[in-house]
Amino acid sequence: MAVRPILTLPDPRLRAKSAPVAKVDAHVRALMDDMLETMYAAPGVGLAAIQIGEATRVIVVDPARKDEPKAPMTLANPRILEASAEMSSYEEGCLSIPDHYEEVERPARVRVAYLDRDGAAREIEADGLLATVLQHEIDHLDGVLFVDHISRLKRQLIVKKFQKQAKREAEAAATAAD
Ligand code: NI
C-alpha cells in the first residue's frame, strides 16, 4: 500500500470520464488499498481513482466521524439506481480542490449498485452524509466536480484561483531552471 499524490485543479485529468472495471482482480484491489491509504492520510471521507490519476471506475468512502471506528467501503463500477426527490444540503469539499467548501444540494437518499472488493454484485441504500459522499465520488468518475453544482460565479472564482496558482508555480519552476 502507498499514499499516492492527489491531483488538484486545474489538472485536466479531473475532467476525464473513467472506464469501467472489467474484473475486480489483484490489480484493482491494490488500487483500492492505495486509495484508502491516500484518503485516510489526506484526511478525507471519499476518494475516486481519477484523483490519483487512474481513470478507472473505483471509489472509496468512509463517512465515520473522528471518534467512530473506521468504516471503509470500496466500490467498483458504482451506479446510482434510484435517487430520492427529497433533497438535502451539505457543505462539501474535495481533496482535489483544497481549502474550498460550498453548500451543495443533492438527493437526500440514493440506492447504489456496485462490485465489492471480491467482485460480488452488491447494492447499498444510503442517506445522510454517506448519500452525499457517494454521489460526490460517483460524479468524479464522469469528470464532474462539486463546483459544477454551485453558481457559475462562485465556480469561476474558485477555478481562476487554481489556474493563477498553477501559472505562478510554472513561472517559478521556469525561473529556477534558468
Ligand atoms: Ni472530490
pLDDT at 65: 85
Residue of 68, 102, 137, 169 marked active site: 137
Ion ligand 1: residues, CB within 5 A, are 94
Amino acid found at 177: A
Report how far ligand 1's centroid is from the alpha carbon of 26 (Å): 25
pTM of full prediction above 0.75:
yes
Among 27, 20, 126, 10, residue whose Cα is nearest residue 78: 20
> Is position 137 annotated as part of the catalytic site?
yes
pLDDT at 1: 78
pLDDT at 74: 98
pLDDT at 10: 95
Report how far ligand 1's centroid is from the alpha carbon of 143 (Å): 10
pLDDT at 112: 98
pLDDT at 51: 98
Query: Where exactly are the structural domains of the chain?
Result: 12-150
pLDDT along the chain (178 residues), means of 10: 95 98 98 97 97 98 91 97 98 97 98 98 97 98 98 96 95 87
Report how far ligand 1's centroid is from the alpha carbon of 145 (Å): 6
pLDDT at 92: 97
Would you give the distance in Å from CA 106 to the centre of its chain? 15
Report how far ligand 1's centroid is from the alpha carbon of 124 (Å): 20
CATH number of the structural domain 12-150: 3.90.45.10
